[in-house]
């Protein structure tokens, strides 16, 4: 096989000279010093490997990566840089980067990545050649060669992301494409909860259709050999975000005829189950069936990593004591909700409250009892708010609740319910003596379209809270602008 052709885009002369000297005996090299030159070379030639600095005159190495992948998804791209952020690494992954090396890197480290990229490129080229050289009469061999090529492409795609929704979309799309069906499904466990994902199903399905899908998923999960050994929380509703690829789809009813289910195994246990329906068993070839089992095996680790990444992200946004969202997560969410209200003209309410006389509770009963009070309130807010609501610990003994699509009248009902629930709780001191706590709450609402900032809407709720304290505590006061 001919030498692979490498494009090196690097504006530092000494590094360029080093890279060319290192690689020119084994590869054909084209070198450029800025992004516009790199773009011109990519237009003219499909390179096997591209090595590009991240920061260069005339643009970014990410621009070079994107252009190369537009021309051929099989081009291997190695980015080298003296700086890097999580954002650039994530974007590079999504675009299909091969390697990401931080300067200074060792000669061995760099050359090993080039060899790995070259090997990957050769595998892709040979996969295509194998299909071409197998005679037409050997249909089975040609089918298996295509499976190998499909597996290669599939692995390339799932390696580009750590997002669980993107990986699940790729899996379910692959099933729909290869089985030639309109809709496919996945039920998968995350901790002790089961989640149902759909592909090709409208977000606006009826309650009856929603129940039908969940019932089928539950039935299939209960058929798995581990079911009696583990207890799971079964879903009662498929959330809109779990209807993947739901835009511009016409399918609103799932017809479960002959069911095909494929377990996804992880560490010897069933981690999830893919399923879809056919008119009859004979609609699926043996080769395609084998392929589906192979991609389920290949996907298990990627999905496990994605859910672990999701869990880690959530933990970073949770308050360690109460289990509620923390202040940083609240600020991000309120920004999103204000923008959504401005665009969709749907009301937004905000409740800010704190525990009355909390310092006295700490001074009288001790900080451990004070922590128990905070934990109990966190539990109440987690269990007594809607899925769309966003309760958070604002700081110290202060809590805040974002209520999307909620007007001031509805918000007042929620605020009073929270106040009454907390007042009705019985707490114990270290001697077992019971005591109660109360809270004061400030409520405000925003309906757009006038502009408002995070600071403004929080100040409104804070003013109302101050008024509730001034007027005797243990009450809700609505902000009057």
* Residues labelled as active-site residues: 397
- Per-residue tokens: 167: 């990986």
For residue 76, the cross-strand partners are 49
Between CA 276 and CA 258 the distance in angstroms is 8
Are the CB atoms for 74 and 124 separated by under 8 Å?
A: yes
Are the CB atoms for 170 and 158 separated by under 8 Å?
A: yes
């Amino acid at each position: 096989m001919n030498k692979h052709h490498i494009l090196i885009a690097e504006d530092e002369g000494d590094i360029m000279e080093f890279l060319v000297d290192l690689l020119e005996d084994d590869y054909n090299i084209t070198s450029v010093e800025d992004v516009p030159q790199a773009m011109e070379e990519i237009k003219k030639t499909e390179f096997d490997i591209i090595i590009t600095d991240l920061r260069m005159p005339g643009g970014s190495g990410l621009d070079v990566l994107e252009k190369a992948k537009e021309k051929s998804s099989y081009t291997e791209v190695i980015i080298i840089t003296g700086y890097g952020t999580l954002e650039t690494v994530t974007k590079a992954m999504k675009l299909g980067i091969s390697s990401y090396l931080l300067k200074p890197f060792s000669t061995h480290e760099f050359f090993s990545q080039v060899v790995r990229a070259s090997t990957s490129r050769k595998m892709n080229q040979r996969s295509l050649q194998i299909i071409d050289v197998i005679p037409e009469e050997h249909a089975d061999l040609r089918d298996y060669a295509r499976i190998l090529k499909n597996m290669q492409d599939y692995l390339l795609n799932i390696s580009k992301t750590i997002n669980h929704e993107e990986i699940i979309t790729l899996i379910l799309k692959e099933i729909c494409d290869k089985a030639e069906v309109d809709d496919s499904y996945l039920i998968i466990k995350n901790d002790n909860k089961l989640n149902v994902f759909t592909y090709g199903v409208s977000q606006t399905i009826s309650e009856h259709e929603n129940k039908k899908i969940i019932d089928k998923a539950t039935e299939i999960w209960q058929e798995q050999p581990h079911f009696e050994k583990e207890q799971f929380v079964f879903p009662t509703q498929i959330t809109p975000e779990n209807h993947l690829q739901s835009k511009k789809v016409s399918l609103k009813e799932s017809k479960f005829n002959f069911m095909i289910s494929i377990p996804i195994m992880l560490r010897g246990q069933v981690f999830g189950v893919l399923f879809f329906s056919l008119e009859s068993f004979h609609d699926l070839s043996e080769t395609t069936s084998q392929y589906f089992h192979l991609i389920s095996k290949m996907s298990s680790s990627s999905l496990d990593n994605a859910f672990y990444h999701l869990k880690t992200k959530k933990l970073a946004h949770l308050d360690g004591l109460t289990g509620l969202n923390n202040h940083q997560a609240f600020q991000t969410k309120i920004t999103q909700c204000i923008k959504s209200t401005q665009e969709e003209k749907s009301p937004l309410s905000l409740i800010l409250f704190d525990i009355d006389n909390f310092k006295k509770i700490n001074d009288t009963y001790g900080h451990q009892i004070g922590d128990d009070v905070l934990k109990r309130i966190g539990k109440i807010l987690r269990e007594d708010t809607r899925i769309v609501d966003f309760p958070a610990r604002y700081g110290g003994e202060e809590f805040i609740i974002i209520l999307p699509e909620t007007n001031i009248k509805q918000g007042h009902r929620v605020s009073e319910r929270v106040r009454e629930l907390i007042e009705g709780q019985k707490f114990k001191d270290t001697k077992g003596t019971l005591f109660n706590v109360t809270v004061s709450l400030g409520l405000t609402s925003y309906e757009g379209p006038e502009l408002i900032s995070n600071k403004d809407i929080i100040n409104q709720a804070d003013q109302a809270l101050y008024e509730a304290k001034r007027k005797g505590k243990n009450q809700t006061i609505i902000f009057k602008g």
